[in-house]
A and B are shown apart, each in its own frame.
Chain A
Amino acid sequence: MIDILAAVWLIARKDLAIEFRTRSAFLSAVVFALLGLVIFYYAWDPTAVSVTDLAPGVLWVIFTFSGLLGLHRSFGVETADHAIDGLLASPVSRHSIFLGKALANLIFVAAVQMIAIPALVVFYNLPLGDIAGPLIAIAVLAAIGLVAVGTLFSAMAVNTRLAELLLPMLALPFFVPIVTAAAQATSKLLSGRPVGEAGAWIKLLLAFDIVFVAACTLAYPFTVED
């Protein structure tokens, strides 16, 4: 039996290869993120709201919704000709399937972030300088939590008639604590406060990640049992 890490990477690599071939979800997510940035920019009144107050909210709203596009695709590729049956009938554990899917989604969301964060910095003329490192750490921690929850609900929603509607309805309430912590930590950094002041929010993000990754990995097998 192949070990768990090899199985996780095998499944993630397959999902990434499919996305690389089609690029459908990635292009949709990037276009959505960039359009969101532009719309928020033109709706923004700089005399009423400072950039440091606005940018964290814009950033995390865009990540959340563009990420959902990729999360929906995650189990969608398995339904076309019942490919999921091939995965479930193989000796690979259900936990490995979930973690492989989640890893592919994490790389997907990170790739969208790699385009969206620089675009945000340029659009809003943000003073990134010293805070680039901590901001990336917050982005990674938030992405792990969003992906864990989103991957589980993608598995639950994919076989329903209203999957595209059901996924955000199920996932968004669970995204709230992650997005709140990420936005608060980002706000502290952008307003020039010491990194230490964002520490409590970053620790909260880390705690959410541990809880959500563990809970979702354990819960996934129940979503595929008839």
Chain B
Amino acid sequence: MPVVEVRDLTRSFGPRKAIAGVSFSLAPGECLALFGPNGAGKTTLLRVLAGLLKPSSGTALVSGIALPAGADVRSRVGLISHHTMLYEALSPRENVAFAARLYSVKDVEKRVDDSLRLMSMHDRADAPLRSLSRGMQQRVSIARAMVHGPDLVLADEPYNGLDDSGARDLTALLGQLRASGAAIIIVTHNLPEGLSLATHAAVMQHGRFVRYDRRSSVDPGSYSAIYREALTGGD
């Protein structure tokens, strides 16, 4: 059974269609790298799949369960955003532990330690969050999103703010999640980073997939040209 299956999905804001008939599916262990200009509908697609927005029409299934999502779907999804979704007054450990408890994670302390260690934040786990750089906060945000071992990871520009070491940690972590059977959708403007993890690639423009390919059939050079064309012709 696919982890995520989307059929002719649309999402409108008033008269504007942010998503205009998108279809795709991802099996366990597959990763879709999603490229596109600003305003193409990439973030809206992730927010629909995360249960933060209701679809206007079409169907979206996560682990066979139709959206809009209830608790049973939301517990399987991990969301990484370009916003950290963290509380400044809490430490990294407290932020990740709060998320772990929201998701009813067993053995919270160990899972929190493990998540922070995977993102190389264990030695700053008790520092005030506001004392950390933006990149470090992004690492904590990623640890927060992964602490419950999601089946579907929705990563919206997750490399933003990360240094080389943080980017390597994230790539390794996403690779581990893929190997353990999680499906991943990664939105990025960085083609090499996106394609390095992907089993599928898509270019989105005006709410539609203008390209959707298996990674094995994608030549990074020609894909780069297609992406540049989408950027110049995008909104």
Contact between chains at A91 and B74 (CB < 8 Å) = yes
| A27, CB-defined interface residue at 8 Å | no
Name which residue of chain B comes closest to A92, CB basis: B102
Q: Which residues of B contact A88 (CB under 8 A)?
A: 51-52
Q: Which of these, B72, B74, B84, B89, contacts A89 with CB under 8 Å?
A: B74
Complex alpha-carbon distance, A93 and B70, angstroms: 8
| A81, CB-defined interface residue at 8 Å | yes
> Which of the segments B2-10, B93-101, B163-171 contacts the partner chain?
B93-101
Taking the closest CB of chain A, its distance from the CB of B200, in whole angstroms, is 23
| A210, CB-defined interface residue at 8 Å | no
| A45, CB-defined interface residue at 8 Å | no
Which residues of B75-102 are within 8 A (CB) of A?
Answer: 75, 77, 79, 81, 83-90, 94, 98-99, 101-102
| B54, CB-defined interface residue at 8 Å | yes
Known: A89-B74, A89-B77, A90-B74. Is A81-B98 also a contact (CB below 8 A)? no
Contact between chains at B52 and A85 (CB < 8 Å) = yes
| B121, CB-defined interface residue at 8 Å | no
| A130, CB-defined interface residue at 8 Å | no
Q: How many residues of A contact B (CB 8 A)?
A: 25
Taking the closest CB of chain A, its distance from the CB of B197, in whole angstroms, is 22
Contact between chains at A82 and B104 (CB < 8 Å) = no
Taking the closest CB of chain A, its distance from the CB of B159, in whole angstroms, is 17
Contact between chains at B86 and A89 (CB < 8 Å) = no
Taking the closest CB of chain B, its distance from the CB of A85, in whole angstroms, is 5
Known: A1-B104, A90-B103. Is A81-B79 also a contact (CB below 8 A)? no
Q: Which residues of A contact B42 (CB under 8 A)?
A: none
Q: 1/0 contact trace for A1-36 toward B, CB 8 Å?
A: 110000100100010011001100000000000000
Name which residue of chain B comes closest to A7, CB basis: B102
Name which residue of chain B comes closest to A78, CB basis: B87
Most chain-B Cβ atoms within 10 A of its Cβ — which of A77, A80, A86, A225?
A86
| A207, CB-defined interface residue at 8 Å | no
| B53, CB-defined interface residue at 8 Å | yes
Q: Which residues of B contact A22 (CB under 8 A)?
A: 89
Contact between chains at B89 and A21 (CB < 8 Å) = yes
| A83, CB-defined interface residue at 8 Å | yes
Contact between chains at A17 and B102 (CB < 8 Å) = no
Name which residue of chain A comes closest to B88, CB basis: A80
Q: Which residues of B are in contact with A by a Cβ distance under 8 Å?
A: 13, 50-54, 71-72, 74-75, 77, 79, 81, 83-90, 94, 98-99, 101-104, 144
Q: Which residues of A are in contact with B by a Cβ distance under 8 Å?
A: 1-2, 7, 10, 14, 17-18, 21-22, 77, 80-83, 85-93, 225-226
| Minimum-distance CB pairs A-B, first 5 | A86-B85, A82-B83, A91-B71, A91-B75, A90-B102
Apart from A86-B86, A90-B75, what 11 extra A-B contacts exist at CB < 8 Å? A1-B71, A2-B104, A7-B102, A21-B89, A81-B84, A83-B86, A85-B50, A88-B51, A90-B99, A90-B103, A91-B75
